[in-house]
Chain A
Amino acid sequence: MNNMSDREAVAMALENPIFFGHIVDRYQDKLARYIHRLGVRNPDDRDDVLQEIFVKVYRNLNGFDETLSFSAWIYRIAHNEAISWYRKRRVRPEGNLVQDGESLLEALASDVTDTEVSFDQGLNADEVSKALQEVPEKYRDVLILRFYEQLSYEEIADVLKLPVGTVGTYVHRGKSALKDNLDTNKLHL
């Protein structure tokens, strides 16, 4: 079962909902991390949101666009569900991503697609995650998908429904904003 492709899993889930559990197993950890990064921090809320995401995925299985990767498609649903959850709460919570700051810093430093914005390796994870929270939301969403979720530009474009060129621009601007925030925060220390 583990060798089954996403498309095969979708086909089987459409035959029998029992097999949908395989898709849940495959994506629940990734999506849990993703919606946590987007701001759904409380574990109970996170489970509720995850459940809604998977129910929506199941309802929309026939609408899965096979020209997309299944991963991009399911991230799109997760993203929209998380946004809708914020809207119900009327606020997108600001929290810290300390435990993720280090991995973000590594990912940013190893990004070879944009050499114009470089990051000081001496930064600590706390500084990075704090600066990330101050990046405008549209850039932050792209940075999270790119550097935490390791999605390609094309996949990010499919998740956020943006042209690929816009994703590239947002990544660059997001990194610049992140670097500016880091520099500003350093001055205030």
Chain B
Amino acid sequence: MSEHEHNNNAKPRDLRAMIVERIETENIKPHSWWYWLVLDSAVWTLWVVSVLLGALAVSVVLFASVHMSFELYEATHPSSYEFMMETLPFLWLFVLAVMFLAGYYNLRHTKHGYRYSLPLVIASSIGASIALGFLFHALNIGYYVDTFLGRHMPMYESQEHMAGRSWQRPTAGRLMGHFIETDENTEGYVWFKDMDGGEWMVTLGELAPRELKLLSSGDDVRVIGFMATDTPNMLHGCGVFPWLFDKPPVLSELREQREMFIERMQEMDRPLGERIKEEFRELGQAHDELLEHWCDHMPMPAR
């Protein structure tokens, strides 16, 4: 037998005695049962937390997707692509991806996590977040989370704020705010206060009866129109739509909004010519002359 083989086959020294002696002299104790329970529970807790945060992210993404003012996107953005790029909740999609990975990782690191098949791990982590996210969305939790964060965290832009920013652009013919009062001396316009505190005269000539009713309710509304070139703080109103962020979203209301928008455009019977549309895009919705034609050439929404 070679020395190498002899060494490899050599019986370890009296290991038993050495180990028992070491345990006694170093007073080594087994970790308690509680230690293992806490450790195992911690991993499961992290899994539950990642699933819950993933579900919250799903519910906010759903809320944002439903409530991103898609119903009127033709009035606020040159194309659906630009609209999506500006309004998609990328932060929450990122949180969602991180939580999916965290859920997967935590479940894999539970005591028996390695035994579960990939589909089971995916179904139980990612699937649970999605299913719970839909439930949260049905309970409007996404709306509350988004609105709460928007109102209490300066660096967080809620859908409410994003939509406000998108709609509070007087030079582009959009205002967000509410009716203040009528002026007894003049007919044909009302005073309107925008979300930045600015006061506007909004002309009523182009508005449909239901829009006048909506405007006069005093609730927050969105107004589309164009700025008068000769009078400061005057907006020629072309359409009035409710502001929907003061309560949890209702999908049927949004559908109704879109129907109303389409119907409104058809009532005006002024389809947009492709040439105007192109010019409008190129000039970035700021050109006075084009703004004057805003009501005449308002983009027709796709059905």
Contact = CB atoms under 8 A, between A and B. Distances in A.
A17 interface: yes
B12 A46 contact: yes
Given A21-B16, A28-B12, A46-B12, A62 B116 contact: no
Contacts of B112: 65, 67
A24 interface: yes
B185 interface: no
Looking at A43, A55, A60, A61, the one whose CB has the most chain B CB atoms below 10 A away is: A43
Interface string A22-37: 0011001100100010
Looking at A18, A51, A63, A99, the one whose CB has the most chain B CB atoms below 10 A away is: A63
A60 B31 contact: yes
B13 A47 contact: yes
A60 B13 contact: no
Size class of the contact patch on chain B: 20 to 34
Nearest to A161: B114
Contact of A20 (B19, B39, B114, B118): B19
Nearest to B118: A163
Contacts, number: 84
A28 B14 CA distance: 10
B117 A17 contact: no
Contacts of B31: 59-60, 62-63
Tell me the dominant secondary structure on chain B's binding face. Answer: helix
Nearest to B7: A43
Given A17-B23, A24-B15, A43-B7, A163 B114 contact: yes
Looking at B16, B18, B32, the one whose CB has the most chain A CB atoms below 10 A away is: B16
A58 B23 contact: yes
Contact of B114 (A32, A50, A157): A157
28 contacts: A17-B20, A17-B24, A18-B20, A20-B19, A21-B20, A28-B15, A32-B12, A36-B8, A41-B8, A42-B7, A43-B12, A51-B15, A51-B19, A51-B22, A55-B19, A55-B22, A59-B28, A60-B31, A61-B30, A62-B36, A63-B35, A63-B36, A67-B112, A99-B8, A157-B114, A163-B115, A163-B117, A164-B115
Given A62-B35, A164-B115, 18 more contacts: A14-B30, A18-B20, A21-B19, A24-B15, A24-B19, A36-B8, A51-B15, A51-B18, A55-B23, A58-B19, A59-B28, A59-B30, A62-B30, A62-B31, A62-B36, A99-B5, A157-B115, A163-B116
Interface of B: 5, 7-13, 15-20, 22-24, 28-33, 35-36, 39, 111-112, 114-118
Q: Top 7 closest A-B pairs, CB basis?
A: A161-B114, A63-B36, A21-B16, A61-B30, A24-B16, A17-B23, A54-B19
